[in-house]
Amino acid sequence: MLTIRPANQKDLSTITEIYNEAIQNTTASFDTQPKTMREQKTWFTHHDARHPVLVAEEDRAVVGWASLSKWSDRCAYSDTAEVSLYIRADCRGRGIGRKLLTALIEAGEKAGLHTLIARIVSENTPSLSLFKSEGFENAGVMREVGRKFGKLLDVCILQKIYRASSSEKRLLVSGKGFEPAS
């Protein structure tokens, strides 16, 4: 049985293993050097209730993780977060990523975020399909911005905007003088 839960410090070694495998063998991450436990501990401390790290656990083993990270340190971006999602190599294609992404989207909404951003290399069609099926829309393509495994790579920017509540729409209309998108 698969369980999605908040990550804790004990999960960091497995999170790091999963991420390092992706660094070394895929273009899902543009990191090129494996992460150390020290780096990952620092990374983990930058997450909080508004920017959670979740893990997927199966038979008491972590088989995937997902996180929301600050999009930018600039204050105007405080309601925007970036999505990261990684699944253990031998567990990919089993729907674990969809369950993690669904839980992460719900966590972002509960945290009061407005926009989620995903940067996905254009050759990663399974991830692009997954995110689009969960309501992410194309926001653009950055051409040839990364080089990995001897190839120049394009990155697709996808975003999901949470629907504003009725009171937020009224505030936007009265406070800014424009009509909200429907």
Q: In order of start, what are the domains of the chain with their CATH numbers?
A: 2-176 (3.40.630.30)
The per-residue pLDDT for 90 is: 97
- Strands of the chain, DSSP E: 2-6, 53-58, 61-70, 80-87, 115-121, 137-148, 151-161
Rounded Cα distance, 12 and 31, in Å: 18
Q: What's the whole-model pTM score?
A: 0.88
Pairing mode, strands 115-121 and 80-87? parallel
The per-residue pLDDT for 163 is: 86
The per-residue pLDDT for 157 is: 98
Rounded Cα distance, 16 and 68, in Å: 16
Rounded Cα distance, 64 and 84, in Å: 11
The per-residue pLDDT for 178 is: 40
The per-residue pLDDT for 167 is: 44
pLDDT digits (tens, 9 = 90+) for 59-99: 999 999 999 999 999 999 999 999 999 999 999 999 999 99
| Mean pLDDT, each 10-residue run in order, the chain (182 residues) | 96 98 97 97 95 97 98 95 98 96 97 97 97 97 97 98 62 44 42
C-alpha torsion 29→47→40→76, nearest 10: 50
